[in-house]
Amino acid sequence: MSQFTIKINGESHQVDVAPDTPMLWVLRDHLKLVGTKYGCGIGACGACTIHVDGVATRSCLLPVSVVGEGAITTIEGLSAKQDHPIQLAWLEHDVSQCGYCQSGQIMNAASLLNQNPDPTDSEIDIAMNGNICRCGTYIRIKAAIKTATNNS
């Protein structure tokens, strides 16, 4: 076990965990931030997507020991009032079915817009390709990303 100080959603947190513990489980088990989801544990589904310095990262593959100074944002901290353009667009398009994949989809989409405020359809497809939605809400996700693009 080792002590780590990590910056999450603008606050500093101390955790005492094994260095190889993925951020996914640090968030879920130790900090009770359960919005970040477990889907595969191997970087193949995107359910666990968080931001490290604004960039979408699969938290299931990110050991706590390599986070260092990186500023982590989770779905809980994406916006103070749940009014990030992506979140609003998600509501407008009533995207969710079961909803389980959606925090990962939202975090991935928000990161896409950070880097590319006006993505084309194929840029959206490429950026979102790693995020599975088993319920098949892809069409609505794409529509919501476009709405968010226009509104941000």
Residues 6+ apart with CB under 8 A from 105: 46, 49, 95, 128, 131, 133, 141
Does the footprint of ligand FES cover residue 138 (CB under 6 A)? no
- Least separation in angstroms between CB 68 and another protein: 19
Residues 6+ apart with CB under 8 A from 71: 7, 10, 52, 53, 54
Looking at the Cβ atoms of 20 and 69, the one nearer to another protein is 20
Question: In 18-152, where does DSSP find H-type helix?
Answer: 23-25, 85-92, 102-115, 121-128, 138-151
**Quick one: what does residue 53 bind among another protein, ligand FES, none, with the CB cut-off 5 to 8 Å set by partner type?**
none
Residues that bind another protein (CB under 8 A): 1, 17-18, 20-22, 25, 28-30, 32-47, 56, 58, 61, 74-76, 82, 87, 90-91, 94-103, 106, 108, 121-122, 124-142
Binding-site ranges for ligand FES (CB under 6 A): 38-41, 43-48, 58, 60, 96-102, 133-135, 137
